[in-house]
Amino acid sequence: MLKSSPAVSAKKILLLILLSIFVIEALLMLVFHVIGLKCSPAIILFDALFLVVFLIPFLYFLVYKPLVDSNRELQAALNEIKTLKGVIPICGYCKKIRDDKEVWHQLEDYLIENSEAVFSHGICPDCYEEQIAEVKKMKQQPPKQTDL
């Protein structure tokens, strides 16, 4: 299914409104004929054209232009969104990331620079257990003697 932009939708709405004016005028002409009012088709056609000439600017500024302006603003906002795509070279050991200039960066620095990501640091359960084991190991070792 093809997605239509707001500008295309605005054009469709405008054309639909103009077409409905002509349909309403045609129905009025039919009603006038059925109830016996004498009204020439030329007058009703002139009336329809008159309405269209005055409604086009009104509809343009009320319907079409705001939709086009909002579409432009949304497109500008969409262009500002940073996304990471493709293959990102990352070191298998230290997890640094290489940029296009062959410079290695910390993972957090790279993502902050190239996306809208914000980091909050924590510690996962595996690393927590590992760090607790390191602390216990350090507490069990006798302090090193320093020569003064």
- Residue range 12-57, pLDDT digits in tens: 777 777 777 777 777 777 777 777 777 676 776 777 777 777 777 7
* Residue 115 contacts residue 104 (beta carbons within 8 Å): no
119/76 same-domain check: no
- The pTM of the full predicted model, rounded to 2 decimals, is 0.36
Residue 145 lies in a domain: no
| Residue 101 belongs to some domain of the structure | yes
Residue 4: predicted pLDDT: 53
Q: Count how many domains the chain has.
A: 2
Where in the sequence is the domain holding 125, given as residue range(s)? 97-140
Residues 109 and 76 in one domain: no
pLDDT in tens, 86-104: 788 888 888 899 988 999 9
Rounded CA separation 128/121 (Å): 13
- What's the CA angle centered on 51, arms 32 and 49, to 5 degrees? 80
